[in-house]
Amino acid sequence: MKLEYLYGVLPIAVILVVWQLLPQLGIVPQQFLPKVSSVFYEIYTSALLGQGRYQLGANYLFTIERTLLGFALAAIIAVPLGIVIGSSRSVNRILEPTLEVFRPLPPVVLIPFFILIFGINDSMYVAYIAFGAVWPILINTIDGVREIEPLYLDLAKCLMMNKVRSFFRIRLPATSPYIVSGMRVSLLLALLVTVAIEMVTGHNGLGFSVVYAQEESDATTLYSVIVLLAITGYVFDLLFVQAENRFMKWYKLSQNLT
Amino acid sequence: MASLLEVKDLHLKYAKANLQVLAGISFSLEESSFTSIVGPSGCGKSTLLRCISGLRRPTSGEVVLSGNRVTSPVEGVSLVFQEYNRSLLPWRSVLRNVILPVEDKLPKSEAERRASDLLKEVGLTGFEKYFPWQLSGGMQQRVAIARALSSDPKILLMDEPFASVDAQTRMTLEDQLLRLWKERGLTVLFVTHDIDESVYLSQRIIVLGKRPSRIIEDVVVRLPYPRDQVSTRNTSDFAGYRTGVFEKIRGMF
Amino acid sequence: MRILTDYLFIVAGVGVLLSILLIWQIVSITNVLPSTIFPSAYSVVLSFFSQVENGSVILAVIYTLSRLFEGYLFAAAIGIVAGISIGLNRLVNRSLDPLVQFLRPMPSVVLIPLAILYFGLVDSVIILIVTYASLWPILINTIDGVRSIDPLVIETANQLRITGLKRLRKIILPAAAPFIVSGLRVSLGIAWIVAVTAEMIGGIVSNGVGVSIFYYLNSGNLAPMYGAIIAVAIFAYFLNRILLVTQYRLMPWVARSSRMLDHEA
């Protein structure tokens, strides 16, 4: 077990060492590939201390705030809606073409639409991000409701549970792994979409910072933003993995035995 | 003595496939009796059980429980499914699975006490906090039986409950079931494809024919209780009953 | 009789979409939103058809798709090959997994400016980023697919001495195929986002739908802008549909492979 951990750490360690050495030894010019230490120093000064003109800390907060708000809005809309749609075969069939049209649509083409309606402000961002992030949760929730083990529903009928009880006791827990799975995808998608729109609108946020840094040919800041976003994405995903392990362990384990 | 359960001229047709499954099934069950239903695969045994439990409406005919017509699941009837691993809720512990039928009807402490008593009766003390998927097949089915009994039903419907369990475990479960039956005065309707099992367990065997199925034989099994896996199965009477039912079923093909 | 109800549902389904257009038309007529930002559905549809006729919008989409597909297919090739190799080797998988889990969640659009810094404002920048972005879902899903193969099947293959290319063709690929297609579907969505975002950032390329949309936006000519959006929607719909149908064909026993979505994006 311990040895395998080492194997996992090795590739990352190698990359970090190479990353530090290549510019340090002058093999690659530092304007192109800044040292790892410079990048982390920049993160420290610009993001944590708020120095310099890039203000990575403030911009980071903009990005995170929008991502989380948009995600929350998407979840609040998608979960109940998904449950309603999934519960009724007729509703599902009627709405399916519409969903199938909107699901593959790249949300970025609708950026102008949102800008026109809201202008460039926080509500526009949150609305847009929510629109982009809603689909994985919605589709997954619908699937989860539709694929509930029929025996559970039989059981609910045999026990003469009324609709409310059977929903909270059986249908919701049974659907929850799908919902959580959809949310996990959705949060990362929200982050992606947030950065994309920030890059396009050039207003504020890390997306704006990274374009600004590129215009100034500032590789260090560029990498700083990349690292910040990579860490953020990783943490988001990790949170969900932890949540899944704590609350959804039963799902993974029960699946293996059927 | 009025029968506890009456099945009157039950017909069932799968409309979509235009398939007549049950073609006029009629029988009645006395209180505290143990009856088995056997028949060839596909003859509709499970479907019959579902109609009796109220999960399914027959095309015609009726099911009457204590004088009342059954059109949907009713109080006092518990169904044990064949696929135990899919009928137990995996996000709930064993105890909480057993509590489920009475969760909202009894105060918590009483419900839990009843559940742990039942678990003791099926021999699963100590497993209350385990999850169903941590248990073996036989243990899971015992949890399912405990759950079925927690609402204190008068009638226990069992749909091939021991079919997916290995032979050794099956013998243990059979004996456990007989004990529970006697102790609680249950009325049991037990569907199985295993003729030996039906003879071993029941007072009466109803044999269903091929689809569209009717009752082709109704046998009273006059073997004494308590029954023993070794000695009872060794008697010539046992063999006689078994052969009789087997011949009846074989004669259909 | 049953076929009639099926048709009814299809009609109802399309009806929902059409009613969106209808609501749009009503909204624009009653001027709830100013017509400067919300041209009537009618004018948009007209504009769309004239754009299709003179080919401008189709051309734009084709430019976008050509870059998209180059990156996407490259990512598919790398992802499937690497995915199968990694999936078959437990040690390699264990070692690379932390790295993959770290790189996967990063929003790949952020690499666009980096690529510009390195390579300047060229077409191939977009293709490169699309490749990187599309790689992850395909790679991860392929690894999943290969690892999901029942060890018993591998043992049987060993016993029957099916090895190498034959094993790949007859056992591994068919088993992993549904997962791979699922990954391809997810990657396609990401590829679209990256390709169009790059066009919208401005200054990188001079053609493609992203460019067209913003061009129309800035010139205040909104009907063709919506027309371009609709064109993208149609293309995206059909491309996704092709992959979905392929997925159903490979796994007819699952209505929708929701379990595969465990590793989307």
Give the pLDDT of residue A255. Answer: 67
Give the pLDDT of residue C255. Answer: 47
What number is the average pLDDT over the span C198-227?
85
Cβ pair A157:B79 closer than 8 A: no
Q: pLDDT band at C265, cuts 50/70/90?
A: very low
Instruction: Give the residue, A3 or B178, on which the prediction is more confident.
Output: B178
A169 contact B CB<8A: yes
Q: pLDDT band at A237, cuts 50/70/90?
A: very high
Domains by residue range for chain B, with CATH? 1-73+189-253 (3.40.50.300)
Name the token pair of B242: 């078994």
User: Would the pLDDT of A207 be above 90?
Assistant: yes
Q: pLDDT band at C219, cuts 50/70/90?
A: confident
Give the pLDDT of residue C264. Answer: 42
B100 contact A CB<8A: yes
Identity of the residue in A107, A193, A222 whose CB atom sits nearest the CB atom of C113: A222
User: Would the pLDDT of C217 be above 60?
Assistant: yes
For CA atoms B51, B55, B56, B58, give the dihedral sign.
Answer: positive
> Based on the number of CB atoms within 10 Å of its own CB, is C161 exposed (0-12), middle (13-18) or buried (19 or more)?
exposed
Give the pLDDT of residue C167. Answer: 80
Is residue B61 classed as helix, strand or coil in its secondary structure? strand
Please state which of the ranges B140-154, B177-191, C46-60 shows the lowest mean pLDDT.
Answer: C46-60
HSE of B210, CA atoms in CB hemisphere, 13 A? 6
Residue of A nearest to C37 (CA): A116
Q: What is the 8-class DSSP label of residue A110? A: G
B105 contact A CB<8A: no
Side chain identity, residue B23: A
Residue of A nearest to C233 (CA): A105
Please state which of the ranges A21-35, A86-100, B128-142 shows the lowest mean pLDDT.
Answer: A21-35
Side chain identity, residue C41: A
Cβ pair C236:A185 closer than 8 A: no
Cβ pair C104:A4 closer than 8 A: no
**What subunits make at least 3 CB pairs under 8 angstroms with C?**
A
pLDDT tens digits along C30-62: 776 676 677 777 888 888 888 888 888 888 999
pLDDT tens digits along B205-214: 999 988 888 9
Cβ pair C225:A112 closer than 8 A: yes
Give the pLDDT of residue B225. Answer: 87
- Residue A193's closest CA among A108, A73, A100, A115? A108
Q: pLDDT band at C254, cuts 50/70/90?
A: low
Is residue B47 classed as helix, strand or coil in its secondary structure? helix
Percent over 70 (pLDDT), chain C? 92
Q: Which long-range contacts (CB under 8 A, 24 or more apart) does C167-175 make?
A: C168/C84, C172/C84, C172/C88, C172/C146, C173/C84, C175/C145, C175/C146, C175/C148, C175/C149
Give the pLDDT of residue C234. Answer: 92
Name the token pair of B23: 């073609």
Q: Cα(A104)–Cα(A92) distance, rounded to whole angstroms?
A: 18
Min CA distance, A160 vs chain B (Å)?
A: 6
What number is the average pLDDT over the span B124-130?
93
Side chain identity, residue A138: L
Q: Which of residues 135-154 of A touch B (CB under 8 A)?
A: 149, 151-152, 154
E strands, A18-165, are none
Q: Cα(B221)–Cα(B232) distance, rounded to whole angstroms?
A: 12
pLDDT tens digits along C143-189: 999 988 888 888 888 888 877 788 888 888 888 888 899 899 999 99
- Residue A200's closest CA among A75, A73, A113? A113
- Name every residue whose Cβ is closer than 8 Å to that of residue B225 and which is 6 or more positions away in sequence: B178, B182
C265 contact A CB<8A: yes
Cβ pair A170:B89 closer than 8 A: yes
- Residue C100's closest CA among B130, B47, A11? A11
Other CB atoms within 10 A of residue C243 CB: 17
Task: Choose from B86, B88, B106, B129 for mutation: most chain A CBs within 10 A.
Answer: B86
Residue of A nearest to B52 (CA): A158
Model pTM score: 0.88
Q: Cα(C153)–Cα(C92) distance, rounded to whole angstroms?
A: 21
Give the pLDDT of residue B154. Answer: 92
Helix (H) or strand (E) holding B69: strand B68-69
Q: pLDDT band at C257, cuts 50/70/90?
A: very low
Cβ pair B100:A173 closer than 8 A: no
Following DSSP, what letter does each residue of A128-192 receive, concatenated?
Answer: HHHHHHHHHHHHHHHHHHHT--HHHHHHHHHTT--HHHHIIIIIHHHHHHHHHHHHHHHHHHHHH
pLDDT tens digits along B7-64: 999 999 888 888 888 988 999 999 999 999 998 888 888 899 999 999 999 999 999 9
Is residue A21 classed as helix, strand or coil in its secondary structure? helix
- Residue B159's closest CA among B55, B4, B9, B24? B55
- Residue A257's closest CA among C65, C148, C66, B86? B86
Q: CATH fold of A60-197+236-255, please?
A: MetI-like fold (1.10.3720)
For B154-190, give one letter per residue: b (16+ CB within 10 A) or e: bbbbbbbbbeebeeebbbebbbbbbebbeebebbbbb
Instruction: Give the residue, A181 or C252, on which the prediction is more confident.
Output: A181
pLDDT tens digits along A179-201: 999 999 999 999 999 999 999 99
Give the pLDDT of residue C157. Answer: 84
HSE of B196, CA atoms in CB hemisphere, 13 A? 13
Other CB atoms within 10 A of residue C77 CB: 13
Percent over 70 (pLDDT), chain A? 96
pLDDT tens digits along C79-124: 999 999 999 888 888 888 888 999 999 999 999 999 988 888 788 8
Q: Given its phi and psi angles, is residue B183 left (phi above 0), alpha (psi -120 to 50 degrees) or beta?
A: alpha
Residue with tokens 């009638």: B155
Cβ–Cβ under 8 Å, residues A234 and A95 = no
User: Would the pLDDT of A23 be above 70?
Assistant: yes
Q: H helices within chain C, ranges in order?
A: 2-29, 41-54, 56-88, 90-103, 111-119, 123-147, 151-159, 164-167, 173-201, 209-218, 222-250
